[in-house]
Structure 1
Amino acid sequence: MLELFFSASGAGTCIVLMMLILKDFFHSVAARAFFVLIFGAFVHLCHNWLPEELSAYAYIIASATPAFFWISCRLIFQEERRLPRISLAIAIYSFVAPFFKHIISSYLGYIPPWVELFGRTIPQWFEYALIIMGILALLKGREDDLVESRRRLRWAIMGAAGLSLGWSIFSFNLHFGSAASRVFAIDLSILIIIGFLFKGRSDIWGVAPSSVKPALLSMTSDLPNTAIEIEDDSVPAYLNKVTESKELAQVKAVMLQGFYRQEKLTLKDLAIKLVLPEYKIRGVINKELGYRNFNEFINEYRIAEAAQRLISEPDTPISNIALDVGYRTLSSFNRAFRKEKDTTPTAYRELND
């Protein structure tokens, strides 16, 4: 009876969260991946109510939960549309293999040892790996994250993942703990996540405004709390108006002095330089400029200077320019340059020669 109560309440909570995503945020790829994750949890909670012939398929759908947990973490917290091929193959195998196991065992009438190995044992280990990979994606880049609600969500999901996915999957696969305890763990974790998502849903899944480029920042006034019109036909109209706070003026001033050239520059370093709390600087860069990651903010300054010097200093080695603007290695500079300019530094120099 207790398990039924927890299952029903958890399923209802999943429906509320899925409706929220469908209504307001289904345009976001990360939100769609998270929708599948919640749907997997919903199916897991409801599988005991399903007819016996459907329960196996419910198990297969629920087995996709760790894969979409990892995918959701990559998309939400690292904002990477391209997923590593090997990791993606592991994710797909983890829930496709149980499906083929069910088909083969139904056809043969029994489960051969090799089917048990490739259709159950290996996918289970892959599920554990995907949970760990998802948690690592949560941890990676947390110091550079400028979206305050997303920073809080990292820790909420960390706790919820450890509580629900960890307890439910490990206890189910290793045959310890009651079914009611697993359902309760899922219920509690979903409620934790919903609380944080409702509070910061627009920042987490909403469309982030385009960043104001360093070239535009250099054109703005030093007067705080002033709306400045910047006539520049190369950018959208809404970027031609910048409301500048006192803190933004301070950030802009120190950046234009070349502070971004410091190697291994962190948000904490900038906070110490400006004698401001880190949360205020995060808010300024995120809310007023539209950046969601500190490295992205710094890289735009570095790449802007590097691009200018590649043209104005044709005889200066690219490696020297990379080191001068703050990169520790040429490879990291090349990656950042390609991401910003969609070409290599060498090709950019030749194109503008």
Structure 2
Amino acid sequence: MTAAVHSLDLALRSGAGLLLLLIGGLMLRDHGRATAARLGAAFAVGGAVFAITSSAGFSRPPQGWDIPLMALATGNNVVFWLFARALFDDGFRLKPLHGGLWATMVGLPVLCALVLHPARWPTQNGIDDFLTVAALGFAVLATAQTIGSYRDDLVEPRRRVRVLIVAASAGFIALTALSNLMGAQEARPALASLVGGAGLAAIALGVAWALLGVAGGRALFPQAAPARPTAEPEPLDPALIAALDRAMQTDRAYRQEALTIGALAHRLGAPEHRLRKAINQGLGFRNFNAYLNSFRIAEAMAALADPAQADVPVLTIALDAGFNSLGPFNRAFRAATETTPTAYRRQALSAGDEPPVSGSAGRIPNSA
């Protein structure tokens, strides 16, 4: 019985690992310029490594050649969190802090294997528990990112597919971490390994099916686009686009604090799914907040460049444009203009530039 369980576990893990490596290669081949795709490929490779290191036959503690594999599998929890962030935020950028988190999660297992375990230091068990809890924490963060930004996503295929991918992966990581904390791996290692192998295989099959189901994953990742569009995208619903244009340019609905796509759809008397499609496929935006911020930033740029408003505080301009605080405004402004609001105002006023016109003429291009 044990031999049969071991053989089935090995077959499941081998298949899952090969499929994950194939998925990672396809992501790099077809979408290698997208941060989310690169992180997804790294997560797929880490998942294949995890398929090896989490099996019952893998030596614990690791010794020699298997130490780097165990370290990469541990660091994959950070990669998964970053992958979820990039997948749900087209403007996400990797920062040195992210690299530091990954290096910490990779370095601690190496420290345990090379130093603490041979010396029998009492802190090793504490570090092992910390790594397990950290894996659970990153899974929770990824899930929170999934839930928190779901409503603002305008790409309907991506809304359906990526929730399944992230939820399944986060659930697997969380269950694995909890089982480790409860000692299931030590109590019945063969059975626990088989269940883990089956979970990995199911996730790999689900991800592969999802990618095939959205035309090779094109809806999941932002496509390369020119800095400024050469022509207006063709509207899918002229009447709805016209009503949306009036609401934004004439009524300045974007100034409403915490405006949601559901509230805007209700205001326009249109189904939410039609409004999503109009903004996404008709105007080329992948995220509702990015669409709102295009108007808000354009209005703020006009106010900052207006000599008559030179004494108006930046915070007042940000609040008038629809931002609820200075921090999100500064981040959005810098992302759109690559400078700070204060520096932009100083440069515009010193150059004597005419303030840009808000609305469609002054709309910030959608970089997603």
TM-score (norm 2): 0.78
1:322 matched to which residue of 2? 318
1:141 matched to which residue of 2? 149
Counterpart of 1:314 in structure 2: which amino acid?
Answer: Q
2:74 matched to which residue of 1? 63
* Pick aligned residue for 2:221 from 196, 205, 210: 205
Cα distance between partner residues in 1 of 2:73 and 2:346? 53
1:242 matched to which residue of 2? 233
Structure 1: which 4+ aligned runs deviate by more than 4 Å? 47-53
* Pick aligned residue for 1:117 from 92, 114, 126: 126
Counterpart of 2:221 in structure 1: which amino acid?
Answer: W
Is 1:97 equivalent to 2:114 in the alignment?
Answer: no
Q: CA deviation at 1:330?
A: 4.1
Q: CA deviation at 1:178?
A: 1.8
Deviation track 1:236-295 (CA, whole Å, cap 9, x = no partner) reads 5x5234323313233223211122222221111111122212122212222232222111
CA contact (8 A) 1:67 1:91 kept: yes
CA contact (8 A) 1:94 1:124 kept: no
Cα distance between partner residues in 2 of 1:346 and 1:46? 53
* Pick aligned residue for 2:253 from 235, 255, 259: 259
Q: Pairwise mapping of residues 5-24 of structure 1 onto structure 2 (< 5 A)?
A: 5-24=11-30
Please give the secondary structure, in 2, of the residue aligned with 1:142.
coil
Counterpart of 1:191 in structure 2: which amino acid?
Answer: L
* Pick aligned residue for 1:34 from 40, 43, 46: 40
Q: CA deviation at 1:140?
A: 2.5
Change (3 A) 1:337 1:33: closer
Cα distance between partner residues in 1 of 2:303 and 2:116? 65
Paired residue total: 324
Deviation track 1:59-88 (CA, whole Å, cap 9, x = no partner) reads 222222211111111221123114483x65
**Structure 2: gaps of 5 or more residues:** 1-6, 185-190, 350-368
1:186 matched to which residue of 2? 200
Cα distance between partner residues in 2 of 1:286 and 1:321? 28
CA contact (8 A) 1:163 1:185 kept: no
1:230 matched to which residue of 2? none
Cα distance between partner residues in 1 of 2:31 and 2:99? 24
Range that drifts further, 197-206 or 60-69:
197-206
1:81 matched to which residue of 2? 93
Q: Which is bigger in relative contact order (C-alpha 8 A, separation at least 6)?
A: 2
Cα distance between partner residues in 1 of 2:21 and 2:310? 62
Cα distance between partner residues in 2 of 1:29 and 1:328? 28
Please, what is the CA RMSD of the aligned residues? 2.7
Counterpart of 2:111 in structure 1: which amino acid?
Answer: F
Q: CA deviation at 1:141?
A: 1.8
Q: CA deviation at 1:22?
A: 3.1
Cα distance between partner residues in 1 of 2:96 and 2:267? 37
Is 1:338 equivalent to 2:338 in the alignment?
Answer: no
Please give the secondary structure, in 1, of the residue aligned with 2:233.
strand
2:264 matched to which residue of 1? 270
